[in-house]
Amino acid sequence: MIHPASTSPLPLPGGVIVGSMLFVVLYKLFAHQTDSLPFAYKFAVQVLIGTLVGSMFVPEMLTRMRALVLPMALSTLILVSTGFLIALILAYFRILDVETAYLATSPGGMSATIGLAFSRQAEPLLVLTFHFIRILFINLTAPLVFYLLQHWSH
């Protein structure tokens, strides 16, 4: 099995992203700052996020993926469809704008969806929060899920 190296020195899901986000939020609260980052900086960050995600690829993944095409397609279809339906509900009731609702409820890595949120004029902080809560929930419930799967599969 292929496991990419951990990208976070912090013991939190998405620790680097969450840590830097909290630092900036606290700074802006206490310094009473409302300025946004310039476009060039946002562009550079998106390039770096794309580079980070792309660098996780290793050629051995292709061999493993061939055997998993159908389960990946089915899983993706179900997850994206469910996220789409939830996004429709959030947008219909004007809880979130369309772009933020879709990216917040879509499956995918935090860094990729946040990068997309910047490019689509969505609200990156809300997208991050949705993904962070989901990842935190998965991490907290994983031991129980693994236990149940191991006992049900035998």
pLDDT 10s digits, 82-134: 999 999 999 999 999 999 999 999 987 777 888 889 888 899 989 988 988 88
Q: How far apart are CA 99 and CA 78, in angstroms?
A: 19
Q: At 126, list the tokens.
A: 């809300």
- The answer, yes or no, to whether residue 12 has pLDDT greater than 70, is no
Higher pLDDT, 88 or 139: 88
Q: How far is CA 74 from CA 10, 81, 90, 96, 113, in A?
A: 33, 11, 24, 27, 21
- The answer, yes or no, to whether residue 54 has pLDDT greater than 50, is yes
Q: Is the pTM of this model over 0.85?
A: no
Cβ partners under 8 Å of residue 64, min gap 6: 1, 2
Q: How far apart are CA 125 and CA 131, in angstroms?
A: 10
Q: How far apart are CA 55 and CA 109, in angstroms?
A: 14
pLDDT recorded at residue 55: 93
